Structure 1
Amino acid sequence: MSRSFRLCDFSPWLMAIACAVCIGIYLPGLSGAFLFDDYPNIVDNNNLHITDAHLSSLVRAALSSPASEFKRPLASLSFAANYLATGLAPLGWKLTNLAIHLANGLLVYLLAAALIRALPGAGPGRADRTRMVAALIAMGWMVLPINLTAVLYIVQRMESLANLFVLAGLIGYVKGRQRMMAGQRGIWLCIASLLVATAIGLLAKETAVMLPLYAFLIEWIVFRFGSANGVHNGGKKHRGLQALFALVLALPLLVGLAWLAPGLLRASTWATRDFTLGTRLLSEARIVADYVAWTLLPNPEALSFYHDDFRVSTGLLAPWSTLASIAFLAGLVATIWFQRKRRPLVALGLALYLGCHLLTGTILPLELIYEHRNYFASFGLLLAVVPWLAAPAQQTSTEAPSTLPASIHHPLPMSLPRYVALGGLMLFWAAQTAMTAYAWGNPLRLAQDLAGRAPDSPRAQYELGRAYIIYSHYDPDSVFTRMAYAPLERAMKLPDSSILSEQALIFFNARIHRPIADAWWDSLIGKLKARKPGVQDESSLAALTQCQREGLCDLSKQRMLEAFLAALSHPKPSARLLANYGDYAWNVLGDRELGIRMAKAASAADPAVPVYHVTLARQALVLGRLDEVRQQIDVLRHLNVGGSLDPVIAELTARLPAYH
């Protein structure tokens, strides 16, 4: 075969094919609807629904996210831009997510190629093979099933957008270090890549804070803090880089731990969770170990989206897989240490994977499991696996020199089995993602698919029942009406379930004017008495309140009061629960004094949330308490960052003279 015709020359075509395949796989899912957390963050977030690009509108949109105290303004602005362009039609929003994912795929290709070129033994003659391996890594990453939610779950644009800057920052850092190793000036490119990319990425999501750690791992394993002419061989270390990481990694880490530690040690921090700091760490060992299988060899049951049926670890042998997972993770750490020189790509890939989970899989009181947390981590696993599978067999002295860097050239007798394995994995990942994307293209199909994947998940069964309710259009004779009860009643009886299913059953029967079973009320109230209500419980009570306030549901006031009092019986009720009870008292019971008292309690419990002060001001206006109105307007002015509260402040101020 002619030397001019080599497979290695086709990496640009392979990337084009990868993008086309990725688009084809995700295309059926783009017709899906908004889901789950899309509603509070996008659909019900009126501050995002801008009609112009004026500064005040953009500031209001940028600071509107309820998902984080840091507001994630860049992600919110991208949502606002989607609304300005296409309104609430989900297609445009999902297309934007897909475009970001494709851009990230290109950056994965560039980063992988840069890392392979930086390895010992890489040279100009191996450039084609390097690009080919990088393209295979990018292709695999783009079609991985575990990355699907970052594309089709609109709100997870926060994750993919943050990683756009993480990947770009790492590429800049590697390029800067390559210049430095060649005796050229590159330190300022390294510094700018770390600082600027991290700062911008943080505006999309806090996970971008991990960029300096990823750069440090690359430095430790690939460049080894080497200077020009001291490349990889224990030569003089670059003191400036050591100082840089002390400033951008070690110091922020110590400050962050000092800031977080007091809160993490308080019992109240964990009061709304079904795990403690200790049981969380034990559980995350199993979860992070499971993510490896979910990434490389996933099955539909693993990628079920809902994981509320997960059994929290309460000891090393409860369940036994806890200790086994800790041993497995320890083995990965040992592999990183012992292979960092012989097989640096394997070591680096595993280090990036574990490093990615240090933020979300350790001490922070977050939900235990989410697939999208592997959006960057999955790149690490592919970096460790794909080059090994793509490496050619050892060549004899009569063969042409290998085009792979020496550190990813392995003395295996045959390449064909590994090539077949790699091709099989690619097809497997693409098929799994295509089937799941197809399900995401229709809300009912998705609910049925997820309920089938997770039969013991209360949330999955609830969402199936809820989908049937939506498709019934509240017609008592609809076939979907008959189908709704079974999954909801199943969800209601599953261990550790919230009151979502009871709320749905009560709400549904009230809307279609059917009797409400006492067993539903008893179960709802019993759960609220048994444990401190969580976000789902509070949302359920708010939904019932809204339905009754709008005259759509004729609910027992006695039963509703029992439910609220049960929820409030636990120490330190949340501001949201207090506000919900105040809403019920004011608008349903007609008890104005109780309503305003609860509004004051809510604003005192979380004084930084403007909506509680707005509610209190409007209630005080109705009662003619003008001094209280003025006090709340003053509070709102202090909270009015960038003029985002100008409209509501103007409205309240304009209404004051009417009471003089």
Structure 2
Amino acid sequence: MFTASPRRFFFALCLLGTAAYLPGLDGGFAFDDYPNIVENPALRPDVVSFNTLASAALSSDSGPLRRPLASLSFLANYHFFGIGPKSFKVVNLLIHLCNGWLIYLLLTRLMPKFLSDLAQASALAGFCALIWTLHPVNLTAVLFVVQRMTSLAAMFTLLALLCYSAARQSAISQPFDSNLGLWTGVGIFAVLGLATKENAVLLPLYALMIEVTVFKFRGSTWIKPAYVSALVVGVSCVVYLLGPYGYFDATYSARPFTASERLLTELRILVFYLGQIIFPNPVNMVLLHGNWTLSTGLFQPAVTAGAAAFWSVAIGTALATASRFPVVLFGVGWYLVGHVLESTYIPLELIYEHRNYLPMLGPVCLVCVGVACATEAMPSHRTLLAGSAITILAVMTTYRAWQWSDSFTLAFTEARHNPESARARMEYARVNFRRFMVEKRPELLVTTREELHAAIKYGDQDFHPLVSLVNSYLIANAPVPERILLSLQQEMRTANPALSWQDGVITLIRCQILRTCPANPTTVLRVTAAAFDNPRLQPAEKAEILEWLALYYTNVMGDAVAAARAIHDAVEIQPNDWNYRLRWAEILATQQAWREARREVRRVTLALTKFDYYLKPTQVARLETLRAKLALLE
């Protein structure tokens, strides 16, 4: 192994981490970065004020808490450094390096309990931190900009755990010290973590793993009752969410799997994650994984039973050896509790490697301690293994970072490593089409359509590739083949609208409103008519399509009467949605129906008075413009 002062280790961690990620810092935005950051006007206010900060903080639709602190960090990034992706990635890398240092500090407190050679405990803590920092599985939490939500929440969680560990060590060594400052730090960092991403709710479970394996409830009489109370509250919340109220039922209707299928499939995915942590294979490390075969039963496929047996043995072994080898319980338990939120019942997408960002610390510690113990009598072998592991991981991460060095390389790599992923093929099509628009090379358009056809093939219940295929003809000013248009109409009539379905229709309309595509009213009207024929179309989705159709009538077809009829129908469907009323007021004003327009403006203004912090800057500007126009006519 190696020994180094904390200061030298800090510089080594920063140097190696920066070198590994350096090739990827020049890469662009990708995938979900666009709706969350690039195309989010709330993050680019003209004036920084309380209202614009509040609007930016609540501009994300992700999670029940809307992740305000993460959004504010993106706003700060833009405000000080502009919209260029490099500054966002550099900040992400700094957060990641900070997390590596925090892991080192945390493990220096825990490692003496796991390792008989106390003299090597600090060195092993540093080695684990280096392995974690340089591991290629963590790359998407750094170079995929929007995953700052993950890394920043992890930073606050680690800070809270550091405070917790320090408070518990102090309570054991100095029983009469209240440690109020440390416990306050736990609370503050927990709140900051929750404001960044909901994963911070797992803080008590991480702390429990530390408590069970290291501190063992010593030094404080209230610790064990506190955990019991937290467990009761947690179980009660789970029962409430999963019980007769069906909190997740609506979301599961938008997924191509059931709750039981997700739970069974995640057993296999957790084994896959673990394999990538212990034996990383860059070919299998992609942002968008292909269509995983769902586990519809314990033996369908049979490997599901194998995964269930594996986890049963792992948990049983960890519990049976907890007193003699606490690191086994720590490694297995930390990994599994870290996946409780995103890899169990909640109806998220099945697989993303950034979900391992903090959970992977458990297996890393377990493997490192195991190897250290096995090579205790062979210090030269231990040093060789440590150096080899760090070198291999650093090279893998550097290679992956190079793949992220530009949008085309990333899209090409994702599509070739993951050919059955509709989203990966769609992204590669998008990148090729963007190049076609600049270079006008016909082969790029051919590749675009080939990739879109592949995305249609693999995109189970995903309408976006089909819509993009239609748009590829419209933008190229070519007639849309009738068979493709008929396929899109058929999908609109019969498919489940809950699957982000209305977004496909809106994409088609927006393209022509923004003049990206030549006007083609026949196509738009045929597709929207098919959408309205869908018997499963929900009122909210129908109202949203009607609003966009009203904009299309106004901006493309110049038909004010049809626009008024469409937006009026949207208001009738969703009478309490003030955004539709604002749009209705704008259209009334264009028809010089001043009295009716003022009436709707008053209604909207009343709604804004009550819910001002939900406003988007563009909507506020629209209201103020309309209000000023009507005031001039009084």
TM-score between the two structures when normalised by the length of structure 1: 0.87
User: Matched residues in 2 for 1:188 and 1:118: separation?
Assistant: 25
User: Matched residues in 1 for 2:317 and 2:573: separation?
Assistant: 51
Q: Is 1:31 the counterpart of 2:26 in the alignment? A: yes
Displacement after TM superposition at 1:53 (Å): 3.6
Written as runs of structure 1 = structure 2, the 5 A alignment for 1:606-621 is: 607=577, 611-612=579-580, 614-621=582-589
Which amino acid in structure 1 is aligned with residue 62 of structure 2? A
Written as runs of structure 1 = structure 2, the 5 A alignment for 1:138-177 is: 138-177=129-168
Closer, same or farther in 2 for the Cα pair 1:388/1:100, shift >3 Å?
same
Out of 175, 191, 202, the position equivalent to 2:194 is 202
Closer, same or farther in 2 for the Cα pair 1:307/1:597, shift >3 Å?
farther
Q: Is 1:582 the counterpart of 2:564 in the alignment? A: no
User: Matched residues in 2 for 1:497 and 1:491: separation?
Assistant: 11
Offset from partner CA, 1:201-221 (integer Å, 9 cap, x none): 111111111111111121122
Q: Is 1:334 the counterpart of 2:316 in the alignment? A: yes
Offset from partner CA, 1:183-208 (integer Å, 9 cap, x none): 24255356324322111111111111
Alignment check: 8 A CA contact 2:415 2:428 kept: yes
Offset from partner CA, 1:379-402 (integer Å, 9 cap, x none): 11112111222336456xxxxxxx
User: Matched residues in 2 for 1:151 and 1:613: separation?
Assistant: 41
Aligned to 2:631: 657
User: Matched residues in 2 for 1:521 and 1:477: separation?
Assistant: 25
Alignment check: 8 A CA contact 1:146 1:295 kept: yes
User: Matched residues in 2 for 1:290 and 1:284: separation?
Assistant: 9
Closer, same or farther in 2 for the Cα pair 1:612/1:200, shift >3 Å?
farther
User: Matched residues in 1 for 2:439 and 2:397: separation?
Assistant: 35
Closer, same or farther in 2 for the Cα pair 1:158/1:265, shift >3 Å?
closer
User: Matched residues in 2 for 1:347 and 1:509: separation?
Assistant: 57
Alignment check: 8 A CA contact 1:170 1:193 kept: no
Aligned to 1:233: none
Percent sequence identity over matched residues?
Answer: 30
User: Matched residues in 1 for 2:612 and 2:137: separation?
Assistant: 40
Offset from partner CA, 1:442-464 (integer Å, 9 cap, x none): 00011111111101111111111
Offset from partner CA, 1:424-472 (integer Å, 9 cap, x none): 4333322221111101110001111111110111111111111111111
Alignment check: 8 A CA contact 1:602 1:612 kept: no
- Between 1 and 2, higher relative CO (CA 8 Å, sep ≥ 6) is seen in 2
User: Matched residues in 2 for 1:165 and 1:512: separation?
Assistant: 49
User: Matched residues in 1 for 2:246 and 2:365: separation?
Assistant: 34
Closer, same or farther in 2 for the Cα pair 1:217/1:307, shift >3 Å?
same
User: Matched residues in 2 for 1:485 and 1:630: separation?
Assistant: 49
Q: Is 1:225 the counterpart of 2:196 in the alignment? A: no
Closer, same or farther in 2 for the Cα pair 1:658/1:461, shift >3 Å?
same
Offset from partner CA, 1:532-554 (integer Å, 9 cap, x none): 13555433322210122234434
Aligned to 1:137: 128
Displacement after TM superposition at 1:144 (Å): 1.2
User: Matched residues in 2 for 1:294 and 1:225: separation?
Assistant: 34
Aligned to 2:240: 258
Which amino acid in structure 2 is aligned with residue 157 of structure 1? R
User: Matched residues in 2 for 1:493 and 1:21: separation?
Assistant: 42
Alignment check: 8 A CA contact 2:564 2:588 kept: no
User: Matched residues in 1 for 2:137 and 2:115: separation?
Assistant: 32
Written as runs of structure 1 = structure 2, the 5 A alignment for 1:375-414 is: 375-391=357-373, 393=375, 414=378
Out of 491, 497, 517, the position equivalent to 1:553 is 517
SS of residue in 2 equivalent to 1:92: helix
Displacement after TM superposition at 1:498 (Å): 1.7
Displacement after TM superposition at 1:22 (Å): 1.2
Alignment check: 8 A CA contact 2:21 2:398 kept: yes
Written as runs of structure 1 = structure 2, the 5 A alignment for 1:171-186 is: 171-184=162-175, 185-186=177-178
Q: Is 1:346 the counterpart of 2:317 in the alignment? A: no
446-455 vs 610-619, which deviates more?
610-619
Displacement after TM superposition at 1:271 (Å): 1.3
Alignment check: 8 A CA contact 1:109 1:138 kept: yes
Written as runs of structure 1 = structure 2, the 5 A alignment for 1:237-636 is: 238-255=220-237, 257-259=239-241, 261-264=243-246, 267-391=249-373, 393=375, 414=378, 420-473=384-437, 476-494=440-458, 496=460, 498-533=462-497, 537-554=501-518, 556-568=520-532, 569-573=534-538, 575-576=540-541, 578-588=543-553, 590=559, 591-600=562-571, 603=574, 607=577, 611-612=579-580, 614-623=582-591, 624=593, 625=596, 626-636=598-608
User: Matched residues in 2 for 1:512 and 1:175: separation?
Assistant: 63
Which amino acid in structure 1 is aligned with residue 277 of structure 2? T
Which amino acid in structure 2 is aligned with residue 203 of structure 1? A
User: Matched residues in 2 for 1:642 and 1:558: separation?
Assistant: 36
User: Matched residues in 1 for 2:453 and 2:200: separation?
Assistant: 41
Aligned to 2:69: 74
Alignment check: 8 A CA contact 1:217 1:348 kept: yes
Displacement after TM superposition at 1:321 (Å): 1.5
User: Matched residues in 1 for 2:498 and 2:399: separation?
Assistant: 33
User: Matched residues in 2 for 1:98 and 1:416: separation?
Assistant: 33
User: Matched residues in 2 for 1:153 and 1:160: separation?
Assistant: 11
Aligned to 1:409: none
Closer, same or farther in 2 for the Cα pair 1:516/1:637, shift >3 Å?
same
User: Matched residues in 1 for 2:54 and 2:547: separation?
Assistant: 30
Alignment check: 8 A CA contact 1:525 1:566 kept: yes
User: Matched residues in 2 for 1:434 and 1:291: separation?
Assistant: 20
Closer, same or farther in 2 for the Cα pair 1:313/1:27, shift >3 Å?
same
Which amino acid in structure 1 is aligned with residue 196 of structure 2? A
Closer, same or farther in 2 for the Cα pair 1:94/1:656, shift >3 Å?
same
378-387 vs 518-527, which deviates more?
518-527
User: Matched residues in 2 for 1:641 and 1:46: separation?
Assistant: 15
Out of 168, 185, 208, the position equivalent to 1:216 is 208
Offset from partner CA, 1:300-339 (integer Å, 9 cap, x none): 3422211241122111112112111111121221122112
Alignment check: 8 A CA contact 2:497 2:536 kept: no
Alignment check: 8 A CA contact 1:474 1:508 kept: no
Aligned to 1:640: 612
Give ranges in structure 1 of 5+ residues lacking alignment: 1-5, 228-237, 396-413
User: Matched residues in 2 for 1:291 and 1:26: separation?
Assistant: 21
Closer, same or farther in 2 for the Cα pair 1:167/1:556, shift >3 Å?
same
SS of residue in 2 equivalent to 1:289: helix
User: Matched residues in 1 for 2:271 and 2:127: separation?
Assistant: 24
Aligned to 1:401: none
Displacement after TM superposition at 1:266 (Å): 6.6
Alignment check: 8 A CA contact 2:338 2:358 kept: yes
Closer, same or farther in 2 for the Cα pair 1:17/1:392, shift >3 Å?
farther
User: Matched residues in 2 for 1:562 and 1:643: separation?
Assistant: 33
Displacement after TM superposition at 1:163 (Å): 0.7
Offset from partner CA, 1:246-265 (integer Å, 9 cap, x none): 45554245235424544546
TM-score between the two structures when normalised by the length of structure 2: 0.90
